[in-house]
Amino acid sequence: MVNQKEEKVSDFKEKELWKSYSLAKGFSQKIAKGGGISIVFLIKGSVEISINDGEIHIINSREMFITQDDYSYTIKALRQSQIMTCLFHIETLLSEQAFINELVPLCNKNKETFIKLPVKEMIFSFLSLLQRFMKDNINSYYFFDLKRQELLILLFVYYSKAELAQFLYFIISENIRFKEFIINNYLNVRNVQELAALANYSTSGFIKRFQKCFKDSPYGWMQKQRARQILNDIKQGAKSLQEIAVEYKFSSYQHFSKFCKKQFGFPPTEINSYKKMRVE
């Protein structure tokens, strides 16, 4: 039986960062706009991808491509196929900012709407091992989030800057500096108004640009990021709960406790106790 606390935390953390599934020959499904950005790996088989019910591309075994949030896709299996997907967030990409800075100047030269790349041998080996972990039912968001970061590093190791600038164009080119600014500063402000002022925007102009970049409201996004950071700090156990409350600028420990209960379903003391119980 699944522990209710584990279930609530898993729900909050979007546990399916990675997916692996088989497609029977002839299978067809449309993926609507707004599904997020994912890297799609065709492990074996062959599929046809239709973009916005128009442009068509064929993806063969050991090739990969990226789905964009603003596009709709229809996937049709031309043969029995095996696919893996990795849900990507801008936060993950910006964690390797030194690498990204090297790609930004190259992005202006690469504006194709669809780019696919071969899955190189070391990436394929990484994916094969990850499939094994998934089959073994490892149920840890943090483990799979680390694997997502590991994938990003491997891409920078095994592909050229020119290849990655093309492949990641739609993620890193548009408003990249604005996104970088948000990632670096959202924890230093108390509300959306302060962040807008820090970015030299009116509040309404800031909200409009933010929603275009992040596909979420500034307040909703900031609350989610703050909650993820807090949950990670609690589970790591390196800081006391009081220290965490002070670090994240809660006016009182009671306010901090209410925030945790609203976001995770139970107060910080129970999260901490559950973490210790699991480790022991």
Cβ pair 12, 227 in contact under 8 A = yes
Residue type at 76? Answer: K
CATH hierarchy code of domain 176-279: 1.10.10.60
pTM over 0.75: no
The arrangement of strands across the sheet holding 73-77 comes to 28-31, 73-77, 46-51, 55-60
Residues 171 and 129: their CA atoms lie apart, in Å, by 27
CA distances from 113 to 153, 159, 163, 166, 208 (A): 24, 20, 14, 10, 24
Pairing of strands 116-118, 63-67: antiparallel
How confident is the model at residue 56, as a pLDDT?
A: 92
How confident is the model at residue 272, as a pLDDT?
A: 60
> Residue 20 is encoded by which pair of tokens?
């692996």
Beta bridge partners of 60: 46
Domains of the chain, residue spans: 4-13+20-172, 176-279
- Give the HSE-up count for residue 84: Cα atoms under 13 Å, Cβ half-sphere: 25
Nearest to 27 by CA among 85, 78, 83, 82: 78
Residues 113 and 167: their CA atoms lie apart, in Å, by 10
CATH hierarchy code of domain 4-13+20-172: 2.60.120.10
Query: How long is the chain?
Result: 280
What is the block-wise mean pLDDT of the chain (280 residues), using blocks of 10 residues?
38 65 92 78 95 90 88 92 86 63 66 84 96 87 86 91 82 68 82 88 87 83 86 83 88 88 84 46
Residues 259 and 250: their CA atoms lie apart, in Å, by 9
